[in-house]
Amino acid sequence: MRYRIPFLPPSLNQIYHPTVGKNGKLKIYKSEEAKRFKKDASFFLPKYLIKGKVAVYIRFFIAEKPEKKDLDNLLKLTLDAIEGRLIENDSQVWELTCHKYEVEEKKEEGVEIEVIPLNPS
């Protein structure tokens, strides 16, 4: 089954923010934008946890400067968003295929996700 999130994840440099903790050590945490993407994406993904190994197919539909958006940067937060919704943990992903497509209008942007169990049953 395919699911569609009607917006794109923030870029990788907007996902993590470094800070220095009280002990002087560098600490990296997820930004509010990253947390918001995961929360908002959950409205479009059912809570249907697939167990075991899975193949994941992800298609990014991008209107503005798709050549400037790195596929791997779009991928991390998208996989985080399906954790706890479609799969238990992204370590279950044994096959991963992703593509980006250019679309004409901003309203066509989004992410299409398909998760297929690999366990014989």
The model's pLDDT over 16-31, given as tens digits with 9 standing for 90+, comes to 667 777 888 887 777 7
**For the segment 99-111, what is each residue's pLDDT rounded down to a tens digit?**
999 999 999 999 9
Give me the CATH number covering residue 32. Answer: 3.30.1330.70
Q: Kindly state the percentage of the chain with pLDDT values over 70.
A: 93
- The pTM score is 0.84
SS3 (DSSP) at 72: helix
Is residue 34 scored above 90 in pLDDT?
A: no
Give the domain range for residue 107.
2-117
Instruction: Give CA–CA dist 27/49, Å, rounded.
Output: 31
Domain count across the chain: 1
Contact 119, 10 (CB under 8 A): no
Query: At which residue do the structure tokens 């197919």 appear?
Result: 57
Is beta strand 93-102 parallel, antiparallel or unpaired with respect to 2-5? unpaired
Q: Please tell me the predicted confidence (pLDDT) of residue 94.
A: 96
Q: Please tell me the predicted confidence (pLDDT) of residue 41.
A: 95
Residue 41, both tokens:
């994406």
